[in-house]
Amino acid sequence: MRLVLLGAPGAGKGTQAGVLARRYDVPHISTGDMLREHGQLGTPLGRKTARFMQSGHLVPDDLVLEMVEERLARADARRGFVCDGFPRTLPQAESFAQRLASRGLALDGVVLLEVPFQALIRRLCLRRVCPGCGAVYHLEDRPPRQVGRCDADGSVLLHREDDREEVIRERLEVYHQQTAPLVEFYEEAGLLLRVDSARPVELIRADLYEILDPLSERSGDTR
Ligand code: AP5
C-alpha cells in the first residue's frame, strides 16, 4: 500500500495515519515527526530546520526531499508506506511521483481529510502529544485518563511549540498557499479520495477502511 494523507494542520492526519500503517503493515512516514526528532537530537538537519518549524513555515524542499529519500530507501518501505505531511508543495509532489515512477511504482491513493477552518484552530490549540509513543490527545474531546499523562506509556504529554494560536494561523495560511494546490494535482492524476473529517475519529476510520481495503488488496501484488 502506497498512501498519502493530505489535509490542513489539525485535519487528523497523524491520528489516522498510525492506525492505517498498522492495518496495512507498512511504515508511517511523518515528515513532521522526523523533523521534530532531528530538532530534539540537535542534528545538523535539526539545527537548519528549527526556525522554519517554530514560525509555522515550511522547511525548504531540498532538505525535506533528502530526508524522505533516506527514509524510503530503508527495507521496510519496500512494502509501501503511509505518508503523513509529505508531500506538501508541488515540487515535492512532482519529485515524489518521479521517484516512484523511476522504480515502476505509483501511489495507490491520496486521502484528503477535509475539516472547516474554525474546527482546525480549536483542535490544535487543545492538542497534546506523547513524546514516547506519538499518541495524540485533545484536552476536551479525547482527554487522557490521567491528567497530563499518556494512557499508553505514562509519558508526560507535550504541548507542541507550533500549537500556539498565532503560529497555527500562520500554518493554516501556509497550507492554503503552498499545499492546497496539491488537491488539484492529485485530482487530475485520478488519485484523490475525499473524506469528511469533521466527524468523530471512529466514523472517519470506518470510512477509510471501506475506501482503502480494496486498494490495499489491489496493491498487494505489486509489493
Ligand atoms: P506536521 O507535524 O506535519 O504538522 P501539520 O501538517 O501542521 O499537521 P499536524 O500534526 O498539526 O496535524 P494532523 O493533521 O496530524 O492532526 P492530528 O491528528 O494531530 O508539520 C510540522 C512542521 O514541520 C510544519 O509546519 C513544517 O515546518 C515542517 N514540515 C513537515 N513536513 C514538511 C514537508 N513535507 N515540507 C516542508 N516542511 C514540513 O489532530 C490534531 C488534533 O485534533 C488532536 O488534538 C486530535 O486529537 C484532534 N482530532 C483528530 N481527529 C479528530 C476528529 N475527527 N474529531 C475531533 N478531534 C480530532
Structural domain count of the chain: 1
| 52 burial type by CB count under 10 A (0-12 exposed, 13-18 middle, 19+ buried) | middle
Summarize pLDDT for 33-80 with one digit per residue, the tens.
999 999 999 999 999 999 999 999 999 999 999 999 999 999 999 999
Residue 14 in any domain: the answer is yes
For this structure, is 2 an active site residue?
no
Residue 23 belongs to domain spanning: 2-27+74-115+173-218
Q: Give the cell for residue 39.
A: 530538532
**CATH number of the domain enclosing 105:** 3.40.50.300
For this structure, is 88 an active site residue?
yes
Q: Any idea of the CA torsion for 160, 32, 179, 109, to the nearest 10 degrees?
A: -130
Active-site pick, 13, 36, 123, 128: 13
Summarize pLDDT for 131-158 with one digit per residue, the tens.
888 889 999 989 999 999 999 999 999 9
Q: Is 80 in the pocket of ligand 1 (CB under 6 A)?
A: no
Q: Mean pLDDT across the stretch 101-108?
A: 94
Partners of residue 136 on adjacent β-strands: 129
Q: What is the sign, positive or negative, of the torsion defined by CA atoms of 8, 147, 133, 210? A: negative
Residue 7 in any domain: the answer is yes
pLDDT of residue 217: 86
Residue 123 in any domain: the answer is no
Residue 145 in any domain: the answer is no
Note the pTM of the prediction, 2 decimals.
0.94
For this structure, is 194 an active site residue?
no
Average pLDDT value over all residues in the chain: 94
> Which residues have a Cβ under 8 Å from the Cβ of 27 and sit 6 or more positions away?
21, 71, 74, 76, 77, 81, 82
Residue 141 in any domain: the answer is no
Residue 125 in any domain: the answer is no
Q: Is 119 in the pocket of ligand 1 (CB under 6 A)?
A: no
One-letter amino acid for residue 128 of the chain: R
Residue 208 in any domain: the answer is yes
